[in-house]
């Protein structure tokens, strides 16, 4: 049946409506007011802008092709149902593009908030420091952060699929607003960075192969099975510990300190270790990487906070099996040699030497009297030092927040200085990408 003229006119108008909405889209550099220090990095902004430009051009071309088809002689053979089906595909693609825009808008528009925007830029620098290992073992993507309400952090990893199937050009880390500003924010942030790093090194797959071998040779098959289920979250906690020392454990305790009812529940399919054992694992990682008496002190504190004597027999048996295998599992993790590290152990790629408790304590005491020596310290080292001082009760929560707020601002400002001279040119270049197709 021939398609009525009215149907053609209606669908053409709907397609033009999509195109007119595309005309309202502008690059973030033109519609997001913020101070220079709060901006995301130039490579991150370029990656996001290039993706949106590519999608914008592609969707415009598809809309124009659709309209030309409807108005062509050959297109008249399409039924109204077939024409509507083709339009619906265009609309789905348009909505996927809007979903992508919203993901990045959460990052960029928040940078206009007073103080928070600059802190976000400082957290970008911290996250980048924790992802770019030395010596270089992979090409690290750009990382951008934003805060949101809620209790936990999350990451949308770079090089994974966005709505619509496009590849994400940057890693986007969501951090909880309630944790700003304290050393605990680094624990959550670097945990999420650890997910990105683990993906770049393919650690989950290679560690699971090692765990399955250990499970086959062990009498505690249940415990090794749980480690296998939890490994993606465990490796992220290990990443945080390897950069932050005791600060990683303190941040974790802050996150998972819940009413007792929630602390020992093993939920099938949950990739997270149950909260009580997750803290125990963090302490075990610290003991392996940084031998010191402090780990025993915090183990005893954790046991007093959530004693095991009231647990049922099954829960006690599970915890006993996990505790019994924990030293072997910790060594397996630290000594793991994934193919992408060319023979190196996992523990070798992290800055463990400068995160030893005695060294962190030395730096804190030095920086108190010579704060200018902090200028050349890596951002993750600054947070590790503050976390150690927090654990030693050598700094108040107020003083800690002031110091970290200052350094988040400082890192943001240092990064912005290198881009100021290019800013006008960049804005014009981005504007040109969006117009005059």
Domain count, the chain: 1
pLDDT band at 1 (very low <50, low <70, confident <90, very high): low
Q: pLDDT tens for residues 105-122?
A: 888 888 888 888 899 999
Residue 218's contacts (CB-CB under 8 Å, 6 or more residues apart) are 224, 325, 328
Share of the chain above pLDDT 90, in %: 59
Does the residue 328 lie in any domain? yes
Would you give the DSSP letter of residue 161? B
Output Rg (C-alpha) for the chain, integer angstroms: 26
Quick check: 299 and 283 in contact, CB under 8 A? yes
Residue 44 CB neighbours (<10 A): 24
Count of Cβ atoms closer than 10 Å to residue 342 Cβ: 8
The pLDDT of residue 435 is 43
Q: What is the mean pLDDT of residues 278-290?
A: 97
Average pLDDT, the chain: 89
57 Cβ partners below 8 Å, 6+ apart?
A: 437
What distance in Å separates the CA atoms of residue 29 and residue 123, rounded to the nearest whole number?
20
Is the residue at 145 inside a domain? no
| Residue 97: inside a domain | no
Global pTM value:
0.88
Query: What is the rounded CA–CA span in Å between residue 263 and residue 428?
Result: 54
Report d(CA 138, CA 7) in Å as an integer: 54
| Signed CA dihedral, 299, 302, 304, 306: sign only | negative
Residue 245 has pLDDT above 90, yes or no: yes
Q: What confidence tens digit (pLDDT) does each residue in 232-242 have?
A: 999 999 999 99
pLDDT tens, residue by residue, 53-72: 899 899 999 999 889 988 98
Residue 54 maps to a domain: no
Tell me the residue range of the domain where 285 lies: 202-395
Q: Give the Cα separation of 429 and 69 in Å (integer).
A: 33
Q: Kindly state the average pLDDT of the residues 200-214.
A: 97
Find the helix or strand (DSSP H, E) in which 423 lies: helix 423-434
How far apart (Å, rounded) are the C-alpha atoms in residues 15 and 53?
Answer: 19
Q: Give domain status of residue 174, yes or no.
A: no
Lowest-pLDDT choice from 30-39, 253-262, 373-382, 408-417? 30-39
The tens digit of pLDDT for each residue in 403-434 reads 999 999 999 998 887 654 444 445 445 545 44
Q: Which residue(s) pair with 171 in the sheet?
A: 143
* DSSP conformation class of 167: B
d(CA 275, CA 279): 6
pLDDT band at 12 (very low <50, low <70, confident <90, very high): confident
Per-residue pLDDT, 181: 63
């Amino acid at each position: 049946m021939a398609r009525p003229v009215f149907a053609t006119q209606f669908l053409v108008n709907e397609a033009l409506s999509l195109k007119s909405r595309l005309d309202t889209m502008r690059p973030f550099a033109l519609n997001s007011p913020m101070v220079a220090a709060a901006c995301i990095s130039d490579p991150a902004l370029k990656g996001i802008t290039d993706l949106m430009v590519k999608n914008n051009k592609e969707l415009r071309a598809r809309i124009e092709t659709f309209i030309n088809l409807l108005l062509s002689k050959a297109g008249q053979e399409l039924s109204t149902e077939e024409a509507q089906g083709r339009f619906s595909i265009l609309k789905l693609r348009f909505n996927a593009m809007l979903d992508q825009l919203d993901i990045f808008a959460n990052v960029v528009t928040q940078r206009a908030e007073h103080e928070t925007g600059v802190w976000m830029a400082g957290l970008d620098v911290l996250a980048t420091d924790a992802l770019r290992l030395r010596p270089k073992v992979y090409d690290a993507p750009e990382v951008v952060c934003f805060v949101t309400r809620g209790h936990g952090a999350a990451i949308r990893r770079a090089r994974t699929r966005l709505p619509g199937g496009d590849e994400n050009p940057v890693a986007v880390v969501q951090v909880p607003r309630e944790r700003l500003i304290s050393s605990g924010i680094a624990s959550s942030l670097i945990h999420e960075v650890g997910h990105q790093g683990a993906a770049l090194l393919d650690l989950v797959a290679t560690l699971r192969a090692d765990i399955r071998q250990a499970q086959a040779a062990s009498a505690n098959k249940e415990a090794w099975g749980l480690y296998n289920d939890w490994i993606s979250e465990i490796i992220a906690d290990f990443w945080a510990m390897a950069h932050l020392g005791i600060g990683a454990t303190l941040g974790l305790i802050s996150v998972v300190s819940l009413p007792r009812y929630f602390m020992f529940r093993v939920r099938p399919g949950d990739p997270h270790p149950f909260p009580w054992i997750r803290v125990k694992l963090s302490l075990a990682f610290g003991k392996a990487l940084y031998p010191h008496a402090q780990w025993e002190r915090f183990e005893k504190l954790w046991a007093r906070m959530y004693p095991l004597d009231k647990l049922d027999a099954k829960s006690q048996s599970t915890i006993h099996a996990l505790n019994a295998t924990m030293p072997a599992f910790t060594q397996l993790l630290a000594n793991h040699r994934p193919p992408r590290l060319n023979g190196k152990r996992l523990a070798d790629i992290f800055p463990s030497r400068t995160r030893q408790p005695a060294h962190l304590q030395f730096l804190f005491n030095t920086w108190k009297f010579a704060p200018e020596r902090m200028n050349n310290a890596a951002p993750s080292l600054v947070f590790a030092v503050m976390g150690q001082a927090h654990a030693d009760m050598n700094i108040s929560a107020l003083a800690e927040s002031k110091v970290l707020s200052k350094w988040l601002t400082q890192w943001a400002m240092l990064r912005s200085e290198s881009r100021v001279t290019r800013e006008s040119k960049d804005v014009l270049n981005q504007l040109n990408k969006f117009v005059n197709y």
